[in-house]
Amino acid sequence: MKNKFRAVLILVPIFLTGCSAIEEPEQTKTYLIVDQTSNKAINAYDYSLDDNTLVRTISYDEREQIKKHVTYEYDNNGNLIKTVEKAAGAPEKTVTYITDDFYDDRGYLIKTVRTSSDGDLVETYYGYDENNFLRGVVEQVNQSSTLMKDY
């Protein structure tokens, strides 16, 4: 009996050493959108507790089966650089993004251009007032739709 106990003590430190290399999963907060009439889940949104970025969305069908699952990856500046989308019954689709920022002589961001590997181009323009406060943002997607925000 004494020998079996020693074997367990030897194996436990080896096992624990092997487990120490496993990374902890990112801590997230989940928001679930539920249809009020049917009380069924429509979408789930997972946000990182570290930097409040969206890390995952899940869309559900009318039977509450996963219809689409999307994960998001960001660079150190918070720019979206990659999405991986998996729709039920379809192959996984990965889209990568390249973001270029343009600044004026004072160091103010005046334009952002985000190009995706699937051909989308989003140009965002920033305008400032005489006190250098952000006054407006204009976003143009593929030179077709335009979104304007006034501050």
How many domains does the chain divide into? 2
> Do residue 30 and residue 87 come from a single domain?
yes
pLDDT for 42-70, tens place per residue? Answer: 999 999 988 888 999 999 988 889 999 99
> Do residue 114 and residue 76 come from a single domain?
no
Reduced 3-state DSSP string for 101-140: EEECCCCCEEEEEEEECCCCEEEEEEEECCCCCEEEEEEE
Q: What is the pLDDT of residue 16?
A: 29
* Segments of the chain scoring below 70 in pLDDT: 1-26, 151
Q: Could you list the residue range(s) of the whole structural domain that residue 103 is in?
A: 97-151
Q: What is the pLDDT of residue 43?
A: 93
Query: Distance between CA atoms of 127 and 143, rounded to whole angstroms?
Result: 19
> Do residue 32 and residue 63 come from a single domain?
yes
Q: What is the pLDDT of residue 25?
A: 53
Q: What is the pTM of this model?
A: 0.60
Domain boundary among 64, 91, 118: 91
Query: Distance between CA atoms of 25 and 13, rounded to whole angstroms?
Result: 23
